[in-house]
Amino acid sequence: MSRVFVKEELKENSTLTLTGEIHHYLTHVLRMKIGDPLCLFNGGNQEFLSTISEIQKNKITLHISTAQTVNKESPLEIIIGQAIPKGQKLDDLIPKITELGVSKVVPLITERSDLKTASPQKLVRWQKIAEYSSQQTGRTKVPEISTPLSFNHFLKKYPNHEKILFYELENSKNLHDVLKTTTSQKFCLIIGPEGGFTPQEIALAQKENCTIISLGKRILRTETVAPLVTGILQYVKGDLNTWT
């Protein structure tokens, strides 16, 4: 059964009319017909079973029958602080980390970020990508794509999260060391741009009590780090190794 994210309030035994992009998606992309079932969600912890009752040129009407509570969220809260990369890299990154269960993505303004990438139109696009990816992966909650924050501002936020910054020149601590000692279920993963963090940014992170680690002898691309580390965290401390 197809799933779609909607922003409207959903209730059992009610009627919902959809227009615009979602009307086009249902009728021209999914090619749905009257009588077809459709699963709806709106970012809460429930899915709503509906049936298409009417299709018109510019709107589609659904009858919502029942709701069921769904829990496909990880016990971990993972926030990705991703320095804004070049080109379309965030477009490709967001689906992967949505599938892996991240809670939020914060584009970071660092000294070597590509600020041209983070236009208001891009932020809207990134949120839509997160919504679509949640549809595909069965989640009922959609990761929030934050407005960009300065590196300094981000370091001061989320005081209850374990902040882990990845730095290719670190040679005394790695991810295994962190996972052996931490009891936290809340993480901020801080990932630099293509040119890496500057020494001044590393010093600032140390001052703000970030844990600075290396991911080994090979330098990873900026778009590789978040899916890799999120997957490891979900396997070791989350729900990637369970079936219930």
| pLDDT of 243 over the 80 cut | no
28 plus 85 within the same structural domain: no
Whole-number Å distance between alpha carbons of 219 and 214? 9
CB atoms near residue 82 (< 10 Å): 27
Among residues 32, 53, 69, which one ends one of the domains? 69
pLDDT tens digits along 25-70: 999 999 999 999 999 999 988 999 999 999 998 999 999 999 999 8
- Residue written as tokens 């934050």? 146
SS3 content of the chain, % helix, strand, coil (to 5): 30, 30, 40
Whole-number Å distance between alpha carbons of 198 and 196? 7
- Asked if 135 contacts 4 with a C-beta cutoff of 8 angstroms, the reply is yes
Model pLDDT, residue 6: 93
Model pLDDT, residue 171: 83
Q: What is the CA radius of gyration of the chain?
A: 20
CATH code (residue 210) = 3.40.1280.10
Helices assigned H by DSSP within the chain = 20-24, 89-99, 120-137, 151-156, 175-181, 199-207, 222-236
Determine what percent of the chain is predicted with pLDDT higher than 70: 99
84 plus 51 within the same structural domain: no
99 plus 15 within the same structural domain: no
Among residues 69, 95, 115, which one ends one of the domains? 69
DSSP 244: -
* pTM of the entire predicted model: 0.91
pLDDT tens digits along 113-156: 887 777 889 999 999 999 999 999 999 999 999 999 999 999 99
Tokens of 104: 């939020």
In a domain, 244, yes or no: no
Whole-number Å distance between alpha carbons of 195 and 11? 49
Model pLDDT, residue 1: 87
| pLDDT of 240 over the 70 cut | yes
Whole-number Å distance between alpha carbons of 232 and 80? 14
In a domain, 50, yes or no: yes
Model pLDDT, residue 119: 84
- Asked if 143 contacts 98 with a C-beta cutoff of 8 angstroms, the reply is yes
Model pLDDT, residue 184: 93
68 in helix, strand or coil?
strand
How many structural domains is the chain composed of? 2
- Which structural domain range is residue 62 located in? 3-69
Side-chain half-sphere exposure of 45, counting CA atoms within 13 A: 6
60 plus 84 within the same structural domain: no
- Asked if 57 contacts 51 with a C-beta cutoff of 8 angstroms, the reply is no
Greatest CA separation for the chain? 64
pLDDT tens digits along 181-224: 999 999 999 999 999 999 999 999 999 999 999 998 898 999 99
Model pLDDT, residue 244: 59
- Asked if 74 contacts 36 with a C-beta cutoff of 8 angstroms, the reply is no
